[in-house]
Chain A
Amino acid sequence: MAYVPPQEILERYARLTVQFGLGEGRGVQPGETVLVYGNEDTKPLYFEVCKEIWRQGGNVLHNFRPENEEPYNFAEAYYALASDAQLEHFGEAYVRGLIDQTDHIIFITGERAPKAMQAVDPTQLAKEAPAVQQYWAIRQAKERAGKLDWTIVLWGTEALAAEAGLSIEDYWAEIISACFLEDADPVARWQETLVEIRRYRDWLNALPIERLHMQSEGTDLWLTLGERRRWLGGTCVNIPSFEIFTSPDWRGTQGTVRFTEPLYYYGKLLRGVELEFRDGLVIRADAEEGADQIQAMVGQPGGNRVGEFSLTDARLSRITRFMADTLYDENVGGRYGNSHLAIGLSITECYDGEEASVSEAEWERLGFITDAALHCDIVTTADRTVTAVLTDGSERVIYADGRFQMNEVAA
């Protein structure tokens, strides 16, 4: 049996996931239904999460999944055998029924063999894009109507720890610290942290920002915030989440960005990713490792546009190390905090209004991407300066040396 954290830690983790991660911090209510995703190896947490849902009076829909690992590599077998008709198949009725039934979704991520899909032909994956787009459309319609929410938590596996260059004990220590699981009441600690993050978020939202200019070694990137945008942060959709992010108007992106952190995408490792934008579209995608993969990704529907821009303050984040997993790496603190861009789907919650009342045509007019087949975060931890151009034409450095540059205002 692989390493399993102490029972007390598992129970706190489950409580945090169910009572804080769902319902925008309110937790599961009696009679609500939670769809739980987790692989075989996540079973110790999966089990505690189900128990916590039942304790709260909720119902569980299981989506337990076999690990992909030799000699049982399901993904590799599927993509090797599947015809175009199979890859393009979308069980719409089934997905609708499942989403109809569900009030909350918990994704317990973490795999025994994170690289199991590395030999899969990217062109096979790309053929699934129309089905993936339809899936997202169904899920997001319910999310925008305020009737579905979700959270993601990570289960540490030996393989992930090895990728990050840590022992399994050290890897879990990072998870435990980041989620306040050493504290008897992690939910209370998170509520406090949210207040802290929201101070910065509110400060950003009060600034009339028109454009952003991010500069660091290898990076000179302009972003346009766009109409009716807001910054979000201190939400419960990722545990842990320290970042503050928005979805800019994709059309206003210009320049070059270089990402320092490795990226794992469908089991493939990409390093040294660089993207160049002109008039909102990627015109050059390269990588020191995995160049064909990043090119395949930007070739997917919506993959050549920016769906998210995010900043994490090093003082706020309790994650100090590279974790070889997007959930943690996009929230990493350390010396300079991090910035990341996502290619693909926008986060329509960054619209500062009633999402449910916005038509598809209106999303398009506002420069939100709602029809992409992916949303992939790419991270840099280089020392960056982010300068905002405000609507009155003045400039202001909002982020430098890994910290938001908020002037403390006396109460």
Chain B
Amino acid sequence: MSYTPPQEILERYADVLVSYGLGQGRGVQAGEVVGLRIAEDAKPLLLEIAKAVWRAGGHLLTEFVPADDGHWNMGRAFYELASEEQLAYFPDAWVKTWFASIDHYLMVRATRDPQALAGVAPEKVMAHQKAWGPQLKHRFDKVNAGALSWSLAEYGTAALAAEAGMSLEEYWNQIISACYLDEPDPVARLRETGARIHATVDWLNGLDIDRLHVEAPDTDLWLTLGEGRRWIGGDTENIPSFEIFTSPDWRGTEGHISFSEPLYRNGAIMEGIRLRFEAGRVVEASATRGDAQIKALVAADAGAAQIGEYSLTDGRVSRITRFMATTLYDENRGGPAGNTHLAVGSAYRDTYTGDVANTTDEQFAALGFNESSIHVDIISTSDRTVTATLRDGSEQVIYAGGQFQND
């Protein structure tokens, strides 16, 4: 490894994740179990996370994920060798008890080779992912019952830095700045930023929005918010998180959208993605690079051609200023026009204003909350105007020039 962040930075990063990222800002408490899924190359951070959990009196269940690269590519070998039965295998007993056993779920990604799976038949990847759909369900059933907190973070690697056109140190400087790790008390600063985002969320939730109209170059998209929806932002599930998002009623999506940013997914790159919706479903999906992948993605299951999330990030709030070649950062990117993204696939049920834990799958389906084995964010940073049609019929521009219009 050519560059490892200084010890002080690693300690602050671990502290941010364990005492702020988990437990919705309250951190890990004594006796609680943290399930940690962390990539091999993030080992320096793993030790600091483990120490932070142990110091808090918590227990750690670690899944240390071997890195796929040109030499030892476990992912590619699996897809090359696996039969249909093996692709469809899902270790239900194990996954179920993993989620039953943990109070917090922390995921730390570190990509050694963003194209590790390039060339693998996308149908195989989709079939495997579909088989693993129950994992998302086990996880979010517990999250929605208020019994599991989770958070996601990125560990900078040389490959991602190269993909983003930066040195590894420059790349880490983006991470450090975005998470306030260059300050002695990053948790305090993250809380301040959270409060600022919450103020915008409250304004949006007070507007009583019926539909949204997104206009940008090669984009003319209508979204329907749906019954009992709220906007969410300033939370701790992603470190860092600057976006404000909701899960619209998927059935009300019409028009087309093009995405300026590349999408990294399952070890392949897609660029120049364009989606066209009719009556809530993708009827046309294309990409200038990875066309087969995007088509396979929206065909993964019934819900993969329907939206699960719509999100906007204010350019003034986000401290991420550069393309980072990873969804976690790119979907929270600031810069001159901020960003917008939508996700195809499963909706976030916590955007429902009702009693999430006591609402059935059928009721969620009736409310237009999408259900799928995937959730894939696709991002655009081109300058856009978002106009809301309120329930009283009036129109209001809520976002323009990369900024929410709440001042």
Most chain A Cβ neighbours within 10 Å, of B50, B77, B83, B97: B97
Q: Which of A31, A83, A100 contacts B93 (CB 8 A)?
A: A100
A199 within 8 Å of B (CB atoms) = no
A30 within 8 Å of B (CB atoms) = yes
With a CB–CB cut-off of 8 A, which chain B residues contact A47? Answer: 66, 72, 74, 77
With a CB–CB cut-off of 8 A, which chain B residues contact A55? Answer: 81
Interface of chain A residues 361 through 391 with chain B (CB within 8 A): none
B50 touches A77 (CB 8 A): yes
B98 touches A101 (CB 8 A): no
A324 within 8 Å of B (CB atoms) = no
CB distance from B292 to the nearest CB of A (A): 24
B89 within 8 Å of A (CB atoms) = yes
CA distance A51 to B78 in the complex (A): 7
Interface of chain A residues 30 through 60 with chain B (CB within 8 A): 30-31, 33, 40, 43-44, 46-47, 50-51, 54-55, 57-60
A59 touches B91 (CB 8 A): yes
Q: Which of A31, A59, A77 contacts B47 (CB 8 A)?
A: A77
Q: Which of B55-63, B229-237, B269-277 contacts A (4 or more CB under 8 A)?
A: B55-63
Q: Given contacts A62-B63, A62-B65, is CB(A97)–CB(B96) below 8 Å? A: yes
Q: Looking across the interface, which residue of chain A has its beta carbon closest to that of B85?
A: A31
Q: Which of A54, A60, A81, A91 contacts B51 (CB 8 A)?
A: A81
With a CB–CB cut-off of 8 A, which chain B residues contact A97? Answer: 93-94, 96-98, 100-101
B54 touches A77 (CB 8 A): yes
Q: Which of A54, A94, A102 contacts B101 (CB 8 A)?
A: A94
B78 touches A54 (CB 8 A): yes
Q: Looking across the interface, which residue of chain A has its beta carbon closest to that of B97?
A: A97
A78 within 8 Å of B (CB atoms) = yes
Most chain A Cβ neighbours within 10 Å, of B65, B91, B98: B91
A86 within 8 Å of B (CB atoms) = yes
A356 within 8 Å of B (CB atoms) = no
Q: Looking across the interface, which residue of chain A has its beta carbon closest to that of B81?
A: A54
Interface of chain B residues 192 through 222 with chain A (CB within 8 A): none
With a CB–CB cut-off of 8 A, which chain A residues contact B55? Answer: 81
CA distance A65 to B46 in the complex (A): 11
Interface of B is mostly: helix
CB distance from A100 to the nearest CB of B (A): 4
Number of chain B residues whose Cβ lies closer than 8 Å to a Cβ of chain A: 38
Q: Which of A60, A82, A98 contacts B54 (CB 8 A)?
A: A82
With a CB–CB cut-off of 8 A, which chain B residues contact A30? Answer: 83, 85
A96 touches B97 (CB 8 A): yes
A2 within 8 Å of B (CB atoms) = no
A74 within 8 Å of B (CB atoms) = yes
B94 touches A61 (CB 8 A): yes
Interface of chain B residues 66 through 118 with chain A (CB within 8 A): 66, 72, 74, 77-78, 81-83, 85-86, 89, 91-94, 96-98, 100-101
A72 touches B78 (CB 8 A): no
A89 within 8 Å of B (CB atoms) = yes
Q: Which of B64, B74, B94 contacts A65 (CB 8 A)?
A: B64
B44 within 8 Å of A (CB atoms) = yes
A101 touches B59 (CB 8 A): no
Q: Looking across the interface, which residue of chain B has its beta carbon closest to that of A95?
A: B97
B91 touches A93 (CB 8 A): no
Closest 7 CB pairs of A and B: A97-B97, A94-B101, A54-B81, A101-B94, A81-B54, A100-B93, A101-B93
Task: Give 24 A-B contacts (CB < 8 Å), ordered by A residue.
Answer: A30-B85, A33-B89, A43-B72, A44-B72, A47-B74, A54-B81, A55-B81, A57-B86, A59-B91, A62-B65, A66-B46, A66-B64, A71-B47, A72-B43, A72-B46, A74-B50, A77-B47, A81-B51, A81-B54, A85-B30, A97-B93, A98-B94, A101-B92, A101-B93
Q: Which residues of B contact A (CB under 8 A)?
A: 30-31, 33, 40, 43-44, 46-47, 50-51, 54-55, 57, 59, 61, 63-66, 72, 74, 77-78, 81-83, 85-86, 89, 91-94, 96-98, 100-101
Q: Which residues of A contact B (CB under 8 A)?
A: 30-31, 33, 40, 43-44, 46-47, 50-51, 54-55, 57-62, 64-66, 71-74, 77-78, 81-83, 85-86, 89, 91, 93-94, 96-98, 100-102
